[in-house]
Structure 1
Amino acid sequence: MSLPPEAKRLLEDEPVMAHLATCTDGRPHVAPVWYVYDEGTVELVTTGRKLANVRENPRVALSIEESENGDAQWTVTLLGTATVVEDDDENRAARRRINAKYDASPDAYAENTLVRIDVGSGSYRTY
């Protein structure tokens, strides 16, 4: 998967929400999440319906957008395969990375579980 350097920089640096799309019972489920991106891998921590959906079907999509007053500045769409990571140390480390990006307490969302997404394809557009 190859995104242009500018798209990678935006994914790595900008603290914008991603919308995670999962599928359950043949129906889509979309929810906002915080994430970190590094060289073709997305990490997020979650719980509830999103986590259950990933366990059932690891094929996911992410839509990330920055907008100004409702006008899109750029968008990135990623398709990939998710893995639930149960290791406590990896979960703590991922939460610290994600929470730092969004300027949240390092211990925030301690009940959430790490989901690592190997990105297979993506697209990027500026407006």
Structure 2
Amino acid sequence: MADTQRRGRRIMMTDGERDAYLTEQRTCRVATLGSDGRPHIGALWFVWDGTSLWLYSLTRSLRWAQLRQDPRIAVVVDDGVEYGDLRGVELSGEAEFIGEAPRTGEARPELEVPERLFPPKYFGMETMPHDGRHAWLRLTPETVTSWDFRKLAGLT
């Protein structure tokens, strides 16, 4: 993952801050591109494993169809209401389709971590439910940009 952030280094999150933030947040916004070049943005649930963002997407969605044609993806996770509270992370790269689509629960070692993290976070369960409609996308980001405006309070 490349550290390409040049401006705003004062408000950039450390790796530990970024990992904690991505672990605690629940919703991201995912941007994909249509064949005509027009972007599509939608909200999605995710988990972060310290290296990759795992997205649990409907397989019969515009997002899924667009990523099949063009795997480039950008994701933003952010929060804050007041200017001084704004913080977030933008990740971009190429999405990978992992496992069967839709997901049926077939044993897949690469899905052990996301399927351990996801159900307690969103369903209050220990075991991943498989509904025959969703499947996994993995984004191992090529670029990451972060900001935490709360850090400005201590700067002059």
Which TM-score band applies after superposition, normalised by the shorter structure?
A: 0.7 to 0.9
Question: Which residue in the other structure is 1:18 paired with?
Answer: 28
Contact 2:99 2:111 in 1 (8 A): no
Partner of 1:35, secondary structure, is: strand
**Superposition TM-score, scaled by structure 2 size:** 0.68
In structure 1, C-alpha distance between the alignment counterparts of 2:119 and 2:52, rounded to whole Å: 17
**Superposition TM-score, scaled by structure 1 size:** 0.82
User: How many aligned positions are there?
Assistant: 126
Partner of 1:34, secondary structure, is: strand
How well do the aligned residues superpose, as a CA RMSD in angstroms? 2.6
Structure (1 or 2) with the larger CA radius of gyration: 2
Q: How many Å apart are 1:42 and its aligned residue?
A: 0.9
Alignment CA distance shift 1:77-1:119 (3 Å): same
More strand by share: 1
Note the residue ranges of structure 1 that are not aligned, 5 or more in a row. Answer: none
Question: Which residue in the other structure is 1:119 paired with?
Answer: 141
In structure 2, C-alpha distance between the alignment counterparts of 1:52 and 1:104, rounded to whole Å: 30
In structure 2, C-alpha distance between the alignment counterparts of 1:121 and 1:59, rounded to whole Å: 12
Alignment CA distance shift 1:72-1:59 (3 Å): farther
In structure 1, C-alpha distance between the alignment counterparts of 2:111 and 2:50, rounded to whole Å: 20
Residue deviations 1:60-111 (CA, integer Å, cap 9, x gap): 0000012247985311101111111234334975345223223455426552
Alignment CA distance shift 1:107-1:33 (3 Å): same
Q: Superposed, which structure 2 residues align to 1:1-127 within 5 Å?
A: 1=1, 2=3, 4=14, 5-12=16-23, 14-25=24-35, 26-47=37-58, 48-68=61-81, 72-87=85-100, 88-90=106-108, 93=112, 94-105=114-125, 106-107=128-129, 109-127=131-149
In structure 1, C-alpha distance between the alignment counterparts of 2:83 and 2:107, rounded to whole Å: 39
In structure 2, C-alpha distance between the alignment counterparts of 1:70 and 1:96, rounded to whole Å: 35
In structure 1, C-alpha distance between the alignment counterparts of 2:53 and 2:122, rounded to whole Å: 15
In structure 1, C-alpha distance between the alignment counterparts of 2:131 and 2:57, rounded to whole Å: 8
